[in-house]
A and B are shown apart, each in its own frame.
Chain A
Amino acid sequence: MSPAEELATCQAALAGALGEAPTVGGAAPDPAGAAAPAGDAWLEVPAARWREACRAARDLPELGFDFLRSLAGVDRPEAGRIDVVAHLFSYRHRRALVLRTSLERAAPELDSVAQVWPAADWHERELWDLLGVRLRGHPDLRRLLLPEDWPGHPLRKDWQEPAEYRGIPTRREARATAGELAKQTYLAPRGLGRDPAGGQPDGGGGA
């Protein structure tokens, strides 16, 4: 099966399951059916049918996408949307599929598919942590990578870095004053032929 035909099969199967055909987006696959992969073609489903579509993708025998490769998000502030992209793979049919949905950027909410693929658990926690997408029905929605009291969602394009976090400055320039730099001396180990930089008392450290 060529990639174009595979995409069409998946589209038809999902259309049967959801009642409405998902739209094809991205680079259109070559209609001539060349062996080259279709590239970034995806099937887009409405956000309200996300969990149904994922469940159908996993359960329908002609789809059989039992492996979630990744679940990620894309922030598109110019369109006011946040997209969620799921890369699926079917071991039975040896083919991949990209499912995509689009959310309102002001209050992004989506049904969790952790019950469909257990791998989605942590991928969705990362969506929440870095993009602020709230997953409904997630068993344990909390930050994955960043500390719990971190302000904001850093992968959003309008996120501002705070000046400090719990007292640690986030920029190093604040520390590099002239006096401090002068105190740091470089010493060479004796006997290696380099001149030691004088016997000055040390700056920082040395408890």
Chain B
Amino acid sequence: MTTALNERDLILHAAAIKRHAPLSAIAHLAGLSEEQAQGIVAQAVATGRMVEARGAYALTPLAGVALTARYRRHFGYLREDAAFVAAYEGFERINRTLKQIITDWQTLDVGGAKVANDHSNKAHDEAVIDRLGALHEQAEPILGRLSAGLPRLKYYAEKLLAALEASEDGDHEWVSDIRRDSYHTAWFELHEELLRIMGREREE
């Protein structure tokens, strides 16, 4: 049985995934306009469901507990949808590869020691971005099956593709920069979204 998330829960859910983000980012992830989000966020702040700090919003702990308790109601049907669950498990499998690729992107082997990658070795960087492209090819059918179960998840497929293309075009900040919707940011948020949908905990 499917139930559509109401707008309030969409906003709270998006805020939980974004953790601490400006209104526009929360609204975009929730698939609502900023005008729609504005009233809900203001109400949430006024009633202790969110706090605002440095122009960004975060869920309060109890609001997070209540939201999580409603997930069975919202997502129970997906937890029993074999195709969706299989796609989720596929994501978890390639998640390990993604983490290794990002780690290799961030580090460089210098004389046998791993140091922070200063991105001076173009060959190393290009090789890692090639691996990211190959991983994305594996991810695409999984993203398609996830979106078939829950169309709202197309958001992540679009973010991932845009970040990959920007990275391949030479704008390397799109690989893993945390201050933008880089490949790693979108992937991390999709992982968080899927864990919430499935009612699971992050392993590490």
Q: Do A and B bind each other?
A: no
Interface residues, chain B, with chain A CB atoms under 8 Å away: none
Interface residues, chain A, with chain B CB atoms under 8 Å away: none
